[in-house]
Amino acid sequence: MRILVTGGAGFIGSHYVRTLLADGYPGLRGARVTVVDKLTYAGNRENLPAADPRLDFVHGDVCDLDLLRQLTPGHDAVVHFAAESHVDRSLESAAEFVRTNVGGTQNVLEAALRSGVERVVHVSTDEVYGSIDRGSWTEESPLLPNSPYAASKAGADLIARAYFRTHGLNVSTTRCSNNYGPYQHPEKLIPLFITHLLQGWPVPLYGEGANIREWLHVDDHCRAIQLVLDGGRAGEVYNVGGGDERTNRQITERLLEHLGADWSAVRHVADRKGHDLRYSLDERKIREELGYRPQVPFARGLADTVDWYRDNPAWWKAAERNAANFPPDRAN
Ligand code: NAD
Ligand code: DAU
């Protein structure tokens, strides 16, 4: 087996590749991997093994169709993670989001189709559904994205649907909730707050901190992607939720406790524009069809994540240096 992974130097993609190379997915023991990654501020070659005979790394852009057409032949499957992923950045400048997330996804699908790749998983997000005050979204819920990031991911999902309906491409889409874990860029809530507190800086909580997210450890997300790759049906969407709903205030409270700080370290800053109040997924489909069960309890996963950032300051300090306008001015 040979798998092409786009965006494999980012947070979730690199977790998937490291697990695969460690033979953590029974169906893929011994498989070879090609990673194609543009190494934007969010990608880091060092997130992957430096030299593994089963890994080929290609520094490239998913918007480059010629490159993808050269790479895809000989691969049995494509797992497509590459994206611009940070909502706040999409509020400042949306063009790169549309280019990579919509145009790049179309290229990945086109290259897979033309090369006869047998299986594609497109990794999407719960944010395509918008915001929900009560209840949970099923895969049939309407797409009502609110941020340019979410809209670009929804566009990608619809292109994936069209490649299945029109061309019969064997593509499935996953829509997951908020991930946390090691190697997440320190621009995102949990690592941002951990790394700020480790440096004795105040943490910027948007608005009242009443927004609710459903937190899932990256290892559980990647396991779900693998289940979909192995057994998901063509043209189908699979929600991947964790069931661990928390307000941002609750997350902040936990992190303050872990890092020995109190609420005097919290700065209430202006709210995110168009800030989605709550995300919640109904994940019965992936549980019933594919036997998915999250395995990492939130308390343990969060404690391990705090330890990882405490133990790896060189990694996150390099990530901070590589990102333009980071840390945001307001936090200093
Ligand atoms: P990330 O920002 O950490 O990593 C993205 C990776 O894609 C980086 O390595 C980057 O260099 C690469 N990339 C960006 N533009 C590229 C391009 N044009 N060509 C090639 N590579 C490019 O993101 P992440 O958090 O790991 O998210 C991975 C995927 O999972 C994304 O599609 C995201 O929408 C989705 N997702 C993320 C979450 C989450 O909580 N982080 C939840 C659900 C879904
Ligand atoms: O739901 C899945 C999505 O989760 C993924 O598709 C995205 O790629 C991923 O970035 C994430 O999006 P969010 O916007 O939910 O994540 P973020 O970590 O940016 O913010 C989480 C919550 O914390 C959100 O309500 C905004 C708030 N927040 C965030 C930051 C960065 C703050 O209060 N302060 C901050 O400084």
* Alpha-carbon radius of gyration of the chain: 19
Which pLDDT belongs to residue 331? 42
Residue 231 sits in a domain of what CATH number?
3.40.50.720
Does residue 86 belong to any structural domain of this protein?
yes
Convert 305-317 to b/e letters by CB count within 10 Å (16 or more is b). Answer: bbebbeeeeebbe
Residue 287 has which token pair? 């549980």
State whether the beta carbon of 17 lies less than 6 angstroms from ligand 1. no
The values of phi and psi at residue 232, to 5°, are: -70, 150
Residue 135 lies in a domain: yes
Q: For residue 286, tell me if it sits in a domain.
A: no
Each of the 332 residues of the chain gets a pLDDT tens digit; together they read 999 999 999 999 999 999 999 999 999 999 999 999 999 999 999 999 999 999 999 999 999 999 999 999 999 999 999 999 999 999 999 999 999 999 999 999 999 999 999 999 999 999 999 999 999 999 999 999 999 999 999 999 999 999 999 999 999 999 999 999 999 999 999 999 999 999 999 999 999 999 999 999 999 999 999 999 999 999 999 999 977 999 999 999 999 999 999 999 999 999 999 999 999 999 999 999 999 999 999 999 999 999 999 999 999 999 999 987 777 655 43
Query: What pLDDT does residue 324 have?
Result: 77
Asked whether residue 7 is domain-assigned, the answer is yes
Number of domains comprising the chain? 1
Q: Ligand 2: distance of its center to the CA of 128 in Å?
A: 14
Per-residue model confidence (pLDDT) at position 329: 57
Query: Which atom of ligand 2 is closest in space to residue 85's alpha carbon?
Result: 8
Q: Quick check: is 297 in a domain?
A: no
Q: How far is the CA of 188 from the centre of ligand 2 (A)?
A: 6
Spatial neighbors of 95 by CB under 8 A, at least 6 apart, are: none
Catalytic choice (37, 61, 110, 126)? 126
pTM of the model: 0.98
Range of the domain at 97: 2-179+218-240
For residue 46, being part of any structural domain is answered with yes
d(CA 154, CA 237): 12
